[in-house]
A and B are shown apart, each in its own frame.
Chain A
Amino acid sequence: MIGEQDEAPGAEHEVADYDPRYPIVIEGLTNRFGTHAVHNELDLTVRRGEILGVVGGSGTGKSVLMRSIIGLQRPETGVIRVFGRDIVAAEPDEEIGVRSRWGVLFQGGALFSTLTVGENIEVPLKQFYPELDRELMHEIARFKTVMSGLPEEAASKYPSELSGGMKKRAGLARALALDPELLFLDEPTAGLDPIGAAKFDELTRNLTDTLGLTVFLITHDLDTLYAICDRIAVLADGKVIAVGTVPELLESEHPWIQEYFNGPRSRAAADSKQRSAENARRAIDNPPPGKA
């Protein structure tokens, strides 16, 4: 197998002017269900190494946007480039050389219910790197389980034996199985208790810093936005109406953004961020260990 010649998959979908600083570039995306336009000429660029939070009211197409980027939903018009590969031009199941470079955590975890957590983590490894030793796969499954904040014993459990929070962590472990550069998280903290949600946020931030990930994070959770997101993209009226840090967004005139960030829940989240600022400064001096 050594020195084996690999055909570059998806080379025909390669775009000439790929800038590695922007792993995801979306231009003029339009998605329509029947006559209802979910996205209308949407533009968005994700920067390398950032955690981009995507917010918007219910039904503004946050999940549809994610599904479009990962090729599960073919848009009506528009250009989506991930790592310089044209996603829209490719067939839904075509191997275009990007699937091993991203990991996706679906809302409910989407674990394969007939496999244990460990076996779930091994699925992408077997798919992309079948030459790996069986024992090494087991070892990878174990340390990814621990990295995602699950006890090691969870590796031999079935998804139906796990709680909602543990399922999400197991889903995260599977998403991270291939050491992806890009991580998609669809409402990772929805349905978790506040302590569990805060721990999941911390885990996401630590893993992003340790592994150098770029994260596309859909959320409703204001605490998540304040705590871990580098930039926030706001979806409304079928477009991204604003992208920026929280202070930048606060200056926006748009009524939805005003209402969103000045509501009582947002102020509470901001206050708690203020309170933890002291701790955060201390944490910068002593970077957190990679272990979750």
Chain B
Amino acid sequence: MAATMREWADFSLQGQGGDATVVVEGPLLVSTIGSLDRKLRTFDQPVQRIDLSAAAAVDTVGAWVILRFAREHGAEIVGASEQAQTLFAAVDGGDATAPINPPRPSAPYRVAEATGQLVVGWGHGVVRIVGFLGAIVVAMLGILRHPSRFRGRALVRQMELVGVSALGIVGLMSFLIGIVVAQQGAAQLRQFGAEIYTINLTGRLTMRELGVLMTAIMVAGRSGSAFAAQLGTMKLTEEIDAMRTIGVSPMEALIIPRILASVLMMPLLGFYSAVIGIIGGAAIADATLGIPFLTFLLRVREVVPTYDLWVGLIKAPVFGLIVALAGCYQGMQVEGNAEQVGLRTTLAVVQAIFMVIVLDAFFAIFFSEIGWE
């Protein structure tokens, strides 16, 4: 076949009525058969013979198209080369009716099915995640009874990954958020001549809300997704099955270190984030509001009540638990193929952030009800 110009296969009809012959010309190859195939599909006259003596070359696709045409018209194939005959035998198999694409029901049916599956999936998901939480608690109690089964090294390693290596990005994020809160707050408060309250705003907001909340979102994106992807890949490569057969419980070796690391590191990261946020606010106040850096920090100590610190520190481990739980749970649900890993990782992050924000709203109401406002 010349590379510069594609020579398409074609045919001509010789004879009439009871003695018609289709003479096929040109190469019968997958690269040249496209138009001939279309023409033969719509050809509806009776044919007695198919003459291949003018066909230049044949491959399996060409052989298949000719064979199908011959069957449909009850025609006889003449002039086929020895190679062509071998190929006819090779492609002749199966009744050629099996579906290629997966079955696809009609659109209204699919919508109803998808909705139903979503609802049932939610129901099962809630039950399963409670079950998962229960399994974790049981495993923790088991570790309390047999402390030798506790994996200290794994815990330290996870604490490093979740906490220490997140210091840079969490710090940068908190510093910038502190700047934004102080700068925007000052712009509004200036209208009442109450610029000094920028310190209250920045100090209390970062301690109570922003520090922990933004850190939880960052940890969900960094570590929650990593948990889901790691555990999911380990499930696909049968590593988790291998652990079970050796007698190592994946719950003890993989999940508990991750959950504990998140629960322990979240309060530290959240507090760190609040402190950096206040420093960011102080820096911008020093630069644009004329409040000296140290004055800002000293004033924070006076206006931020201690219980603001407790609000942040109480929420943080709960958020850490939710992030780690979502990541580990979704990772362990991976089955089948690589697409699942991506899907479950996305789910882990979305669920974690959603649950963190919902719970944060509950916490806000709860703490103001008990007088910590």
Residues of A in contact with B (beta carbons under 8 Å apart): 1-9, 11, 97, 100, 113-114, 116, 118-119, 122, 125, 128-129, 131-133, 135-136, 138-147, 152-153, 155-156, 158-160, 176, 178-179, 207, 210-212, 289-291
Contact = CB atoms under 8 A, between A and B. Distances in A.
B102 A100 contact: no
Given A147-B91, A155-B99, A179-B60, A6 B38 contact: no
Given A118-B100, A211-B87, 10 more contacts: A3-B5, A129-B34, A135-B41, A136-B37, A147-B60, A155-B98, A156-B98, A179-B60, A207-B90, A210-B87
B64 A139 contact: yes
A143 B96 contact: yes
Nearest to A130: B34
B148 interface: no
Contacts of A153: 98
A143 B100 contact: no
A18 B354 CA distance: 63
Nearest to B8: A2
Contacts of B8: 2-3
Given A139-B68, A143-B60, A146-B94, A156 B102 contact: yes
B99 A160 contact: no
Contacts of B102: 116, 156, 158
B359 interface: no
B30 A125 contact: yes
Given A133-B38, A211-B60, A8 B3 contact: yes
Interface stretch (B162-170, B317-325, B336-344): B336-344
Contacts of A144: 60
B5 to A, nearest CB: 6
B37 A179 contact: no
B247 interface: no
Contacts, number: 133
Nearest to A137: B100
B59 A179 contact: yes
Contact of A291 (B31, B35, B93): B93
Contacts of B86: 210, 290
Nearest to B7: A3
Q: Which 9 A-B pairs have the closest CB atoms?
A: A290-B90, A118-B100, A113-B337, A179-B59, A8-B3, A152-B98, A131-B34, A152-B94, A146-B93
Contacts of B6: 3-4, 6
Interface residues of B, number: 42
Nearest to B61: A140
A9 B83 CA distance: 29
B90 A211 contact: yes
B29 interface: yes
Contacts of B339: 113-114
A141 B60 CA distance: 12
Contacts of A290: 86-87, 89-91
Contacts of A6: 3-6
A141 B98 CA distance: 10
Contacts of B37: 132-133, 136
Contact of A179 (B30, B34, B95): B30
Interface string B38-68: 1001000000000000000001110011001
Contacts of B38: 133
Contacts of A97: 3
Contacts of B100: 116, 118-119, 122, 138, 141-142, 155-156
B68 to A, nearest CB: 7
A242 to B, nearest CB: 34
B238 interface: no
Contact of A143 (B59, B83, B93): B93
Nearest to A206: B90
19 contacts: A113-B337, A113-B338, A119-B101, A129-B31, A132-B30, A133-B37, A133-B41, A143-B93, A145-B98, A146-B93, A155-B99, A156-B99, A158-B336, A176-B60, A179-B29, A210-B86, A289-B89, A290-B90, A291-B89
Contacts of A114: 337, 339
B92 interface: yes
Interface string B210-237: 0000000000000000000000000000
Interface string B1-26: 00111101000000000000000000
Interface in B255-269: none
Contacts of B338: 113
A211 B83 CA distance: 8
A171 B177 CA distance: 52
Given A133-B37, A178-B30, A179-B29, A143 B91 contact: yes
- Chain B CB count within 10 A is highest, among A6, A7, A125, A143, for A143
A173 to B, nearest CB: 11
A291 B87 CA distance: 9
Interface in B294-348: 336-339
B90 A136 contact: no
- Chain B CB count within 10 A is highest, among A128, A139, A144, for A139
A147 B35 contact: no
Contacts of B68: 139
Contacts of B5: 3, 5-6
- Chain A CB count within 10 A is highest, among B37, B64, B98, B336, for B98
Nearest to B100: A118
A38 B339 CA distance: 34
B87 A133 contact: no
A156 B86 CA distance: 27
B4 A8 contact: yes
A268 B41 CA distance: 54
A252 B35 CA distance: 54
A118 B124 CA distance: 33
Given A5-B5, A160-B337, A291 B92 contact: yes
Contact of B31 (A100, A116, A156): A100
Nearest to A178: B30
